[in-house]
Amino acid sequence: MKSPKKLLKKPARKKIVIVGPAYPLRGGIAHYVSLLYQHLAKRHNVEIVTFSRQYPKLFFPGKSQEEPESDTVEIPTERLIDSLNPLSWISTAREIAHRHPDLVIFTYWLPAFGPCFGTVAALIRRWSDAKIIFICHNVIPHEHRPGDILFTRFAFRYADFFIPLSHVVARDLTLLRPGAPHSVVPLPVYESFGGGLAKSSARKSLGIRQKRVLLFFGVVRKYKGLTTLLSALPHVLKTMNVHLFVVGEFYENESIYRKQIDALRLAEHVTVVPEYVPRSRVAQYFSACDVVILPYWSATQSAIVQIAYQFNKPVIVTDVGGISEVVRDGITGLVVPAQDTGSLANAIVRFYTKKMEPRLTRNVKKEKNHYSWNAMVRAIEVFLQGAKVNK
């Protein structure tokens, strides 16, 4: 987003309510809400309303929906919304409206929450003068389900303004709601995982002895392309030894990947850590690797890139969705076609044979300054002041 040269004036302190997953809930969106709260709270009075029940346990593919108690960064939240109980949607809207906020921000990523968020937004508009922003991580989800378009259109009907986190998401937004007022603000760097560690000490703490270390990080789902990365490894191993760490909870059948590893005889070259990584341990894995790989088949954007940037790590990514908007090919990482095993293998080999890590790392340190939380706060404040926004 091109920022306005100048804000109209120093913004008055506003009352803002953020609605979305947050402490003690876990996951990337919850981390995002926590950081958004921390940065907005420097200049405004901010409250968070989150879920008493986010997903039914029966349909949640992970082991837990909450952060381990010993690992949480506590922020003030109120758990008011039961995603399955419409009565709670009404009571939540009434409670928010009674606080007379100037602005309510909904964090949107999944159409399943469209009926809930749409109802809450509609009632807030009826019962108060609050303006409503939807921050859109996704508009059209990676894995389509019946009702996606209908639910999303219902939710978006009551928004005054949108902040898509990539131009791809903005395109999807305008397909569903032509002319929607919006301003694109790229996903900021995730600061919540602390600073990096020396590579040698990180590897020692994880028991890593291999010389060349690749990292695939995050929840494992089909569209994230881990099968493509595994298929590329034998081609890489013909030229050099590398070791891949797959770190993240499996939201589908883990045995599919275990069988592929065995079939390709990769057991000595792949370490699988099939668990959700607590916030306090994220730095270890990113600091230990040479490069982070995102072999996605589809995407809007990915917090994994921004976490990699936080730890000054270059990335190898596929040219899908908005990922290539934040990865500069040959400058902060390498960009290859999706589902192209040969191109991915060649990129990994080139990364090492051309000794690209030092140069790409220096560039990442500079590039990540473009992805600050100040841009997000500024976009919200510009909207609140009624200034003309860039689309």
Mean pLDDT across the stretch 213-238? 96
E strand intervals along 73-217: 78-82, 103-108, 131-136, 161-164, 213-217
pLDDT tens digits along 280-300: 889 999 999 999 999 999 887
Mean pLDDT across the stretch 169-183? 94
Phi-psi region of 194 (alpha: psi -120 to 50; beta: other; left: phi over 0): left
- pLDDT at 68 (0 to 100): 55
Q: In terms of pLDDT, which residue wins out, 142 or 232? A: 232
Give the domain 199-370 fold.
Rossmann fold (3.40.50)
Per the structure block, which two tokens stand in for 137?
């991580």
Let me know: does 184 contact 164? Beta carbons within 8 Å.
yes
- pLDDT at 70 (0 to 100): 46
Mean pLDDT across the stretch 187-196? 84
Positive or negative CA dihedral for 330, 165, 183, 367? negative
**In the predicted structure, residue 99 carries a pLDDT above the cut 70:** yes
Distance between CA atoms of 73 and 50, rounded to whole angstroms? 15
**In the predicted structure, residue 9 carries a pLDDT above the cut 60:** no
Mean pLDDT across the stretch 166-171? 93
* pTM confidence score: 0.86
β-partners of residue 271 are 245
- Domain 15-188+372-384 maps to which CATH number in 3.40.50.2000, 1.20.210.10, 3.40.50.1360, 3.20.20.100? 3.40.50.2000
Would you say the CATH fold of 199-370 matches that of 15-188+372-384? yes
Domain residue spans of the chain = 15-188+372-384, 199-370
Quick one: what percent of the chain has pLDDT higher than 90? 73
Q: In terms of pLDDT, which residue wins out, 56 or 240? A: 240
Q: What are phi and psi of 291, to 5 degrees?
A: -155, 145
Distance between CA atoms of 236 and 49, rounded to whole angstroms? 48
Mean pLDDT across the stretch 21-25? 83
Q: Write down the mean pLDDT value for the chain.
A: 89
Distance between CA atoms of 213 and 299, rounded to whole angstroms? 24
3-state helix, strand, coil in the chain (%, to 5): 40, 15, 40
- pLDDT at 282 (0 to 100): 92
pLDDT tens digits along 150-163: 999 999 999 999 99
Quick one: what percent of the chain has pLDDT higher than 70? 90
**In the predicted structure, residue 76 carries a pLDDT above the cut 90:** no
pLDDT tens digits along 255-280: 999 999 999 999 999 999 998 888 88
Q: In terms of pLDDT, which residue wins out, 144 or 232? A: 232
**In the predicted structure, residue 4 carries a pLDDT above the cut 80:** no
Mean pLDDT across the stretch 10-29? 84
Mean pLDDT across the stretch 118-126? 97
